Chain A
Amino acid sequence: MKDYFYLIPIALAIGVTALAAFMWSLKNGQYDDLKGAAERILHEETDTPIERPRGHVDNR
């Protein structure tokens, strides 16, 4: 019985943490542009100049 007294609060605390993390990320705009985020990971700024992706027409 006394196991419950710390096991259950731990279980609930983990759940509440996850919920709070989700709420924070929602409010922070993390889900506003899912498609953009998927693309941006490939184009993060680096130290060296990024070459224009191949197969694309030059925009200028």
Chain B
Amino acid sequence: MGCCGPGAELALLAPGVRGTGEEVLLASRIVTDGVRQTDLSVPTVHCGACIRTIEKALGELAGVESARVNLSTRRATVRWRCDGAPPPFIETLRQAGFESHLFDVEPDNGHGELSELIRALAVAGFAASNIMLLSVSIWSGADAETRDLFHWLSAIIALPALAYSGRIFFRSAWQALRHRRTNMDVPISIGVLLAFGMSLYDTTQHGPYAYFDASISLLFFLLIGRTLDHMMRERARLAVKGLAQLAARGARVEQADGKQVYLPVSEIQTGMTIMLAAGERVPVDATVTKGTSELDASLVSGEQTPVPAIVGTLLRAGTLNLTGPLTIVATATPDNSFLGEMVRMMEAAEQGRSAYRRIADRAAGLYAPIVHLTALCALIGWLLATGDIHRALTIAIAVLIITCPCALGLAVPMVQVVAARRLFENGIMVKDGGALERLAEIDTVVFDKTGTLTLSLPRLIASDGMDQEAIGIAAALASHSRHPYSRALVEAAAGFAPSRIVFNEVSEHPGFGLEARSGVMSYRLGRPEWALAGLADARRMSGDKSVLLSKNGSRLADFRFEDFLRADASKAVSELKHAGIPVQVVSGDREDAVAEIARQLGIPYFAAVLPAGKIAHITALEASGRKVLMVGDGLNDTPAFVAAHASMAPATAADIGRNAADLVFLRESLSAVPQAISVARNARWLVRQNFALAIAYNLVAVPVAIMGYVTPLVAAVAMSASSMLVVANALRLGSPRKIVPRAGADAPLSAKAVMEAAE
């Protein structure tokens, strides 16, 4: 156990996590000559002592050059000399009490974008403060000579800052214009550039007014909003990515000459023979040629009960091999495997969906023409009235500056950043602001069953014939197996005193159960007829939810299991129903299993639905005018995520599903769903308020500007005031009366939250 609390639970979350030398080698990259770098995700690291322990443990390994822990991202970076096999990082960390897994360092463009934003923000901040200092002297009544000098100085500072910090907006505006669309960045760019251009002209003409301060502080304010928005998404992305890497990275392939090599998944070809150990995931679609085992297909098809695998069984990629080693022959390449098929279905669904336009862009689409038309009218009006082209231009540009959507540009991101923060504290990750907007619009919720409404582990039903000693023996036996029933037994026995019986020899018989010897006693835990009769050829039963513990062939105890509803599932469902949101279950599991859960929750159900059926179901709902939120965890739900208006996945979902979902919740409780919807709706309400504030501000400011009363000082005060107002309004979302957080939910995401999800 690590110094920072439970580490064992994560092992339950990721039974398939391995870290063989070959895998480490595949996941590492060359830094310099002879030195490789490996990144490990260590979700349980959370204090200074952990850092020391990990760095010391890794640093003492032979061949390790340096080891450094990043506490913020919960990652360890190890550099090692690759003269031989990689050092056993993962085993070493496990001995030190930390579960870890290999982390794929992607070509990191997300981080580059963030640092570009921060650099642009720093430059804009520097320029804005210096220009503002000069401007204050001008406003305080500097004489003409000094004013000109200060204007020139401002221009010299503003030009590089505008070029450097402004390009983020110019680039996006140009992209939009090239595709004949407008977004918020178009009026921003036009306003900033015109203000700078006119001020530069006025400076050369020794004019009294220059708007350098306005154009640069506008950039500064907007960059603050944009940087916060980006940081929020980055944090959610990292938190989701750091959860677990369950997918098989490679597989042990037996070659024609009998030699075994470890190949990355992408190099596996049809017809290759793969050795699949217990606890590994099937890398590509395959058929069993040797061995018997049981398979956990809950992430693939939604079937809760393990299915037996014998020679000839067809395996789908992503299925977890539970109990015995298998020899399998690949029947498809990775691209044509189940996973690849799901990706193709996702892409097809993506094309069918019309692109969602963000609310800010829709507002900009209305706003930009109105503002530009007003400025044009002011220009023509003043030109006709006075015949003074410079005067008319000055006023038209003042209109553009004063209406420049500082408040509008902040109105949406500020609210969404605060909302994402609220959700983050409750263990819910939001991928981006658009997801919140879409979530606020949904009016139907479709749940998957296995792993979403129910937990992936079944629960032991308490019965009267059960004594503590029997549970203790059963749990001691069960701790040798990965079978879900075994894990449920171990969990149920956690509160009791451990059994004193010492087993000499424990063996697992895939499809039947566990057998152990203790002296002359022989214990069996498994299928009732096998445990009692000892007949190895007893008929296998699939879907039977009970196991029996026997001693020397006589019955000791029965254990029955049931699907276990996720915490607060019925509360969450009734909350949704109260809010007028219909709820359904669409599952790939068998009819009776789904019907039982649907009956407990009192909601309609659709059972034995294939992935394509899930898409069709959701598309039909969307076509009838509903906006659907899909909540699911399996590979088979992933295409449906894309077809739905918004999607949510628990932390235990398949990698691809977690990456495709708009929101990911880390805690066990299903009340994350109504919570997220409620926060999203509050956010939508505040965004609308902010828009109303911005419009009210413009209704006052625009006439003043048209009449020609806007000096740089008035512009600076008005813009700052409206921005502050909008930000202050956004912060109101932080008030806890809007949403009741769970007890202890105030702490920011910690290892605890991740652990809660894993439990």
Contacts and interface: CB of A to CB of B under 8 A. Distances in A.
Interface string B124-159: 001001100100000000000110010001000100
B48 interface: yes
A39 B51 contact: yes
A36 B49 contact: no
Contacts of B129: 15
Interface stretch (B69-77, B440-448, B576-584): B69-77
Interface residues of A, number: 29
A38 B96 CA distance: 23
Contacts of B71: 33, 35-36, 39
A43 B48 contact: yes
Interface string A1-30: 100100010011001101100110010000
Q: For the complex, would chain A's binding face be called helix, strand, loop or mixed by DSSP majority?
A: helix
A33 B70 contact: yes
Contacts of B53: 59
Interface string A38-52: 011011000000101
B96 A59 contact: yes
Q: Which of A12, A18, A22, A39 has the largest number of chain B CB atoms within 10 A?
A: A39
A57 B1 contact: yes
Contacts of B73: 33
Given A26-B115, A59-B96, A36 B51 contact: yes
Interface residue range, chain B: 20 to 34
B149 A4 contact: yes
Nearest to B47: A39
Q: For the complex, would chain B's binding face be called helix, strand, loop or mixed by DSSP majority?
A: helix
A8 B153 contact: yes
Nearest to B122: A22
A35 B70 CA distance: 8
B69 A59 contact: no
A15 B315 CA distance: 65
Contacts of A50: 52
Nearest to B52: A43
A60 B73 CA distance: 24
Contacts of B153: 8
B123 interface: yes
Contact of B70 (A26, A32, A52): A32
Interface in B50-82: 51-53, 69-73
Interface in B489-545: none
Contacts of A32: 70, 72
B571 interface: no
Contact of A59 (B3, B115, B133): B3
B72 A26 contact: no
Contact of B119 (A11, A16, A26): A26
B51 A56 contact: no
A60 B96 contact: yes
Contact of B48 (A16, A42, A59): A42
Contacts of A34: 72
B255 to A, nearest CB: 41
Given A34-B72, A35-B71, A56 B126 contact: no
Interface in B35-54: 47-49, 51-53
A4 to B, nearest CB: 7
A16 B324 CA distance: 66
A32 B72 CA distance: 8
B2 interface: yes
Interface string B157-185: 10000000000000000000000000000
Q: Which of B48, B51, B129, B157 has the largest number of chain A CB atoms within 10 A?
A: B48
A43 B51 contact: yes
Contacts of A11: 130, 133
A12 B157 CA distance: 9
A39 B96 CA distance: 19
Interface in B200-242: none
A18 B71 CA distance: 27
Nearest to B126: A19
B77 to A, nearest CB: 10
Interface in B316-359: none
A53 to B, nearest CB: 5
Q: Which of B122, B129, B145, B146 has the largest number of chain A CB atoms within 10 A?
A: B122
B657 interface: no
A42 B52 CA distance: 11
A19 B69 CA distance: 28
Nearest to A8: B153
A55 B1 CA distance: 14
A2 to B, nearest CB: 12
A30 to B, nearest CB: 12
B122 A19 contact: yes
Contacts of A60: 95-96
A50 to B, nearest CB: 8
B69 A26 contact: no
Contacts of A36: 51, 69-72
A40 B122 CA distance: 27
A40 B48 contact: yes
B409 interface: no
A34 B95 CA distance: 27
B69 to A, nearest CB: 7
B118 interface: yes
B375 to A, nearest CB: 34
Contacts of B51: 36, 39-40, 43
B433 interface: no
A7 B701 CA distance: 37
B149 A39 contact: no
B650 interface: no
Contacts of A4: 146, 149
A60 to B, nearest CB: 7
Q: Which of A40, A53, A59 has the largest number of chain B CB atoms within 10 A?
A: A59
A19 B122 CA distance: 7
B97 interface: yes
29 contacts: A1-B145, A11-B130, A12-B130, A15-B126, A15-B129, A16-B126, A22-B122, A26-B115, A32-B70, A32-B72, A33-B70, A33-B71, A33-B73, A34-B72, A35-B71, A35-B72, A36-B69, A36-B71, A36-B72, A39-B47, A43-B49, A43-B51, A43-B52, A56-B3, A57-B2, A59-B3, A59-B53, A59-B97, A60-B96
Across the A-B interface, the 5 shortest Cβ-Cβ residue pairs:
A39-B48, A36-B71, A56-B3, A33-B70, A35-B71
Given A43-B51, A59-B2, A59-B96, 16 more contacts: A18-B126, A23-B122, A26-B119, A32-B70, A33-B71, A35-B72, A36-B51, A36-B69, A36-B72, A39-B51, A39-B71, A50-B52, A53-B3, A53-B48, A56-B3, A60-B95
